[in-house]
Structure 1
Amino acid sequence: MSSTSAPVVALVGNPNCGKTALFNALTGSRQKVANYPGVTVEKKTGQLTTPSGRAVRVVDLPGTYSLRARSPDEEITRDVVLGRLASDVTPDLIVCVADASNLRLALRLVLELKQVGRPVLLSLNMMDIARKRGIEIDFAKLAAALGVPVVSSVAVRRGGTDALLAELDRLLGRGVAGGASDWRAPDARALRDAQREADRLLKLAIRSEGRLDPGTARADAILLHPVAGIVILLAILFVMFQAVFAWAQPLMDLISNGFTWFGALVGSAPLPEILRSFLKDGVIAGVGSVVVFLPQIVILFFFILLLEDLGYMARAAFLMDKIMGGAGLHGRAFIPLLSSFACAIPGIMATRVIDDRRDRLTTILVAPLMTCSARIPVYTLIISAFIPNREVWGFAGLQGLVMFGLYASGIVGALAVSFVAKRVFWRSNAGEPFMLELPDYKIPQIKSLAIGIWARALAFLKRAGTTILSMMILIWVLASFPPAPEGATEPAIDYSLAAMIGHAIEPVTKPLGFNWQINVALIPGMAAREVAVGALGTIYSIDGGEEAADKIGQVLAGQWSLATALALLAWYIFAPQCASTLAVIRRETGSWKWMAVTFFYMLALAYAAALLVFQVAVALGAG
């Protein structure tokens, strides 16, 4: 048994087999996410209770096709299964999760798992889809031929995990034993034999091979059309960015009013002036100016997770293959780049699915140009302050259109950089053709969707309470000390360290229209992009008092020109302002060189874009 009192069950399966949905159905909210020691591969563990009342720990391992492991995340799965990883997740029982409508690859994996020497249970997931397609599986024959128990599961249906839980109860009640395994990677002959055995099992167990889902076929005739499909994809993205503004505003107002009330309460408290300023101007004004954008980030993740659960993401990758190929990107780069809209870090890690090293490196270099959720607070603050909230064309919000344009600019920039990299720095012949399995469309599970959104909201709030809070404290210290000398006629902040730093940088940023306050905000923004919003909130609240803290957008509109605001938006499209992303690039490429290349090429692009936008805007009278 494992080192802990509760037995450990590991979920192992091919990508897109519904394993994570099953994990969510089994554990619900009783789960936590961390990283495995020494690597940035996500570790998801949870708790479940069997029908007999037995407590069980469940580990959701990264998807894999084999224990031979060709990527870091597959290596984690192999090492956990074999008991080689120095952690507390050594499994007592392995549940191999298989897509019941596509068993061939799963059977090969089951045969490998049997050689490990641990108890194995095969769970045929998504049985509802298999039955809908007319696929009939003889469970008894398959279990007898494999020599392992076989059960069905439907992660998205009430009661769909009952058979699995009952079998877990039975197997764990018999007692299981963990420990390290002496498994060895199979040679070429063994792999051929395993494939032949999987084919034999498939013919033995499948009574009816079924048919293509007619609904999926009809939908794909429209959604994968070379013209209509692209139009629909752009329409979906357009609606998503409109919703980021329209749907989020009431909740944003509620959060903003809450922080305003809290700041006023602290401001009137009988505390020493320095402590009152620290709490009100540093902590509340700084962190509150970032947390207020949580509704927008939740809406963005809602759309991304919804499209993933529907099965549309693979179609979007298929549609974009030709466009991306013209820019020198492999079709498999679409999913990593799309993931980067949420955060570049998982997007960069997702490039492991790209086999060719140069294609993978190109994707890593351009992934940070995708507009991640950390840019949303900056974009929203500036757009709300300088772009009128009115409709154009009778149905579209102007602010949402500007946001859409910023996202589009990041995409165009990424394609342009990829085009130059592939044709100037490393010319190569066309790579392997883009092969992609398109899953059936599925109705998203509300529970699984809610868990995914909740986890990402908590991650954002954790970031606000750690990285952003620490940066806000630093900004407050820099903006508050040293105090103004007696008899000073200028605002106190003009004598601070922050003002000194901002003015020192001004000769470099003056051609961009940036003032010293912007300069100060850009520096801690290197830790996390959204820190810049909190930094501006802290600086202007100290400079202008409580009114500035409450209405930071109005303060910016009164002190910045439109040209400056547009230049800052252009800067943020390209600027490399995320230390965590740069660190992941260093780890994934194994080289400081590519981290430095990414930083300096993005910095050069940001400066050039901001300079061009500011000078053109001034020439057009927006200065």
Structure 2
Amino acid sequence: MTPTAALIGNPNTGKTTLFNALSGLNHRTGNYPGVTVESKKAEAVFGATRFHLIDLPGTYSLAPRSPDEMVAVDVLLGRQTGEPQPNVLICIVDASNLERNLYLTTQAMEIGVPVVVALNMIDVAESHGVRVDADRLAAKLCVPVVPIQANQRKGLDALRMAVEQALKHPAPLEHPRFPDVFETETTNLGRYLGSSIPPYLVRRLIIDVGGQAEQRLAGENGVHGPVPAVEARTRYGWIRRTLEGVVQRPSERLTTWTDRIDAVLTHRVWGTLVFLVVMFLLFEAIFVGAKYFTTPIDTAKDFLASMVRDGLPPGPFTNLLADGIIVGVGSVVVFLPQILILFAFLAVLEDCGYMARAAFLMDRLMARAGLSGKSFIPLLSSLACAVPGIMATRVIEDYRDRLATILVAPLMSCSARLPVYTLLIGAFLSEKAGYSWWVPGVTMFALYAIGLILAPLMAWILKRTLLRGPKPVFVMEMPSYKWPDMWGVLRRIYDAAAAFLYRAGTVILATSIIVWALLNFPAGDYAERMAKLEASVSDVRQQVETAEGDEKEALAKQLEPVDEEKNRLLMDWRRNSYLGRAGRALEPVFVPLGWDWRVTVAALASFPAREVVVGTMGILYQQGKVDAGDEASATRLGIEVKKGGLTLPGAVGLMVFFALCCQCASTLAVIRRETRSWTWPIFTFMYMTTLAYLGAMLTYQIGTLLGL
């Protein structure tokens, strides 16, 4: 049977970097059974032995407080479904912060599994003037201690050999001894529970549960204080004695370049300015830089759909494959560059140590909403897509804080809403519409500000009603600055992209097929009539492809009446489709918002992915296929929408509606997955739809009263 080695360590100790180095990036990413916590596994050869290698979630203690930490403990104890107990534990510690890191190591040594200590960040410790005698530390801990630099791939061969030897020749483990009264109670409770409960769990039962055992201990020997405090005092006392003669520190603390940078980045004024610049660069990269990549993807999507239409005989199957599947899934794939850029930025900023500083700066604002600074990163991620943003809430320990962050994350305007904003702003509020040059930019900022303001406000309401609980205490380690591990960053980008495409793409595929069917049935004789129209000008279309100059322009004019007739026929088809009928039936509900049945249908059809609203409106307003990235076609559509009766208040209300409504089916699916309940996605859809409706109605009614 192949043995298992598990990597365990505090956050920001280089654990994942070490895992990537040992696995060669050839690992598998998934979820542990029954939970949403991500699992990373790989095959690795240590010496002459092949191991299953597991990268456990980072944790400060084996007294779990978050889903990630609970999984780490369950795997170490062999209680996680589908995971055997590890045969060897690789405890990675930060050499520059050894005392605190060894706290987790002392807990791991009590489990009874062979332990190897990977002494990482030796270079960082030396830059602080700290020297660690690894051999002496190994002698005192009675476990192998191997100095490494994971990001430079140094010391890995020695670590591999130490892991193999620990498996073949396990040594007796030392660990702190607690006060006699504590040890006595542990022994008595262990006898009562029987051999089925591991000794480590018996000890944790006394430490972590504030019940009769704790009361009895406090009553018998009050000098020890609360039981959890006894553990901390005992472990840190043992660690300090162990490190005597092992760690050499300078007589005076050195001022490092990390301290100098922190003086700026954590400053209330300068730090905030730097943060705004970083966010500006992030948004510029997402919303501007991604255009260079989305256009080829969109072109490839259209080319593939055209190949299907040209290569297969006309009919429902061809339409389903081209318009339902290829275009439906392609509408998600086209936003992949934004996801890649977002995760690249976040991975680099996190690896270099900046994200902890940003969370520190935002903690004051988050605290007013009843959240902590840890909610900032998920909300920031949701500006590109709520799916990875919601997944990022796993680092939040408190369940109420985590749930509140999940429920408000979709209020942040995602990139899929940009096409709607661009279309309507260009038609109603641009210079061509008679407004100053600065109005479009301010309008776009205001739409994003709606989410930025309402998300904390909604969290404040939730934390005082449904999710009432104690005010969160924000404690976050400020890691040293370091160069990102680029191979690890690339792997994280790849994993995030794969997870996004799998989770969002599968949902989009199913819902796109449903929407396609609702827009195309009942078919009647529309398809046959359109085929006859196209056949009547097929020769002319072939001539247009080969003609040039005036001849080509003249031939194109011959096609205009036929194209207009096709658009009218297509609109009539959509009007009488199941979705069109639903739109007309619901039109009275949306009249207070200034919408007609076409806007209603576009809003309904865009639920799978908000960006498809532009294409749907293009069909409904007789403009055929419209690309939101094509300024000319988008402008034409905007003009037609305006001609169709949508007023300025109605258009602004429509933008407000899309700013506040639930983003897409993928968002609800990931909320269901993260909360393991249908209650919260239904609640999210209901409260966001209510907010969107009220916001759009107030915007339209007030704007109309003002005569806009």
Q: Please state which band the TM-score falls in when normalised by the shorter chain.
A: 0.7 to 0.9
Question: Are 1:45 and 2:131 counterparts?
Answer: no
> Residues 467-616 of structure 1: matches in 2 within 5 Å?
467-485=507-525, 490-491=569-570, 492-520=573-601, 522-523=603-604, 531-534=609-612, 537=615, 540=618, 547-548=625-626, 553=634, 556-561=637-642, 566-578=652-664, 598-615=684-701
Whether the 8 Å CA contact 1:80–1:90 is kept in 2: the answer is yes
Question: Are 1:118 and 2:199 counterparts?
Answer: no
Rounded Cα–Cα distance in structure 1 between residues aligned with 2:55 and 2:136: 28
Rounded Cα–Cα distance in structure 2 between residues aligned with 1:483 and 1:515: 23
Aligned-partner residue type, residue 247 of structure 1: G
Q: Which position in structure 2 is the counterpart of 1:24?
A: 20
* Pair 617,262 (structure 1): closer, same or farther in 2 beyond 3 Å: farther
RMSD of aligned C-alpha atoms? 3.8
* Pair 402,283 (structure 1): closer, same or farther in 2 beyond 3 Å: farther
* Pair 124,462 (structure 1): closer, same or farther in 2 beyond 3 Å: same
Question: Are 1:218 and 2:213 counterparts?
Answer: no
Residue number among 398, 417, 423 corresponding to 1:378 in the alignment: 417
Moved more, 109-118 or 326-335: 326-335
Which has the larger Rg?
2
Whether the 8 Å CA contact 1:476–1:538 is kept in 2: the answer is no
Rounded Cα–Cα distance in structure 2 between residues aligned with 1:292 and 1:580: 15
Q: Which position in structure 2 is the counterpart of 1:67?
A: 62
Q: Deviations over 1:244-290 (max 9, x none)?
A: 22211121111111122212211211424222211222122222233
Rounded Cα–Cα distance in structure 2 between residues aligned with 1:258 and 1:318: 43
Residue number among 353, 362, 386 corresponding to 1:311 in the alignment: 353
Question: Are 1:153 and 2:143 counterparts?
Answer: no
Q: Which position in structure 2 is the counterpart of 1:440?
A: 480
Q: Which position in structure 2 is the counterpart of 1:84?
A: 79
Deviation at 1:548, TM superposition (A): 4.3
Aligned-partner residue type, residue 246 of structure 1: V
Deviation at 1:297, TM superposition (A): 2.0
Q: Which position in structure 2 is the counterpart of 1:196?
A: 237
Residue number among 240, 243, 254 corresponding to 2:285 in the alignment: 243
Rounded Cα–Cα distance in structure 2 between residues aligned with 1:471 and 1:535: 14
Aligned-partner residue type, residue 487 of structure 2: K
Whether the 8 Å CA contact 1:137–1:205 is kept in 2: the answer is yes
* Pair 268,336 (structure 1): closer, same or farther in 2 beyond 3 Å: closer
Aligned-partner residue type, residue 43 of structure 1: S
Whether the 8 Å CA contact 1:541–1:549 is kept in 2: the answer is no
Deviation at 1:68, TM superposition (A): 2.5
Residue number among 244, 258, 265 corresponding to 2:307 in the alignment: 265
Aligned-partner residue type, residue 183 of structure 1: Y
Whether the 8 Å CA contact 1:156–1:445 is kept in 2: the answer is yes
* Pair 154,282 (structure 1): closer, same or farther in 2 beyond 3 Å: same
Question: Are 1:466 and 2:552 counterparts?
Answer: no
* Pair 70,296 (structure 1): closer, same or farther in 2 beyond 3 Å: closer
Whether the 8 Å CA contact 2:371–2:472 is kept in 1: the answer is no
Pairs aligned (count)? 604
Moved more, 585-594 or 111-120: 585-594
Deviation at 1:483, TM superposition (A): 1.0
Q: Which position in structure 1 is the counterpart of 2:192?
A: none
* Pair 49,335 (structure 1): closer, same or farther in 2 beyond 3 Å: same
User: 3-state DSSP class of the match of 1:124?
Assistant: strand
Deviation at 1:20, TM superposition (A): 1.7
User: 3-state DSSP class of the match of 2:97?
Assistant: coil
User: 3-state DSSP class of the match of 1:183?
Assistant: helix
Q: Deviations over 1:162-210 (max 9, x none)?
A: 332332344456699xx99553234434554223212222334212268
* Pair 412,539 (structure 1): closer, same or farther in 2 beyond 3 Å: closer
Whether the 8 Å CA contact 2:621–2:640 is kept in 1: the answer is no
Moved more, 500-509 or 310-319: 500-509
> Residues 322-337 of structure 1: matches in 2 within 5 Å?
322-337=364-379
User: 3-state DSSP class of the match of 2:249?
Assistant: strand
Residue number among 457, 476, 479 corresponding to 1:416 in the alignment: 457
Moved more, 18-27 or 153-162: 153-162
Whether the 8 Å CA contact 2:339–2:385 is kept in 1: the answer is no
Deviation at 1:346, TM superposition (A): 6.4
Rounded Cα–Cα distance in structure 2 between residues aligned with 1:32 and 1:180: 32
Deviation at 1:158, TM superposition (A): 3.9
Deviation at 1:516, TM superposition (A): 3.8
Moved more, 210-219 or 514-523: 514-523
Question: Are 1:256 and 2:298 counterparts?
Answer: yes
Rounded Cα–Cα distance in structure 1 between residues aligned with 2:569 and 2:460: 51
Aligned-partner residue type, residue 247 of structure 2: I
Gaps of 5+ in 2: 172-195, 208-226, 432-436, 530-567, 643-647
Moved more, 147-156 or 349-358: 349-358
Superposition TM-score, scaled by structure 2 size: 0.75
Question: Are 1:230 and 2:239 counterparts?
Answer: no
Gaps of 5+ in 1: none
Whether the 8 Å CA contact 2:29–2:39 is kept in 1: the answer is yes
Aligned-partner residue type, residue 601 of structure 1: Y
Q: Which position in structure 1 is the counterpart of 2:128?
A: 133
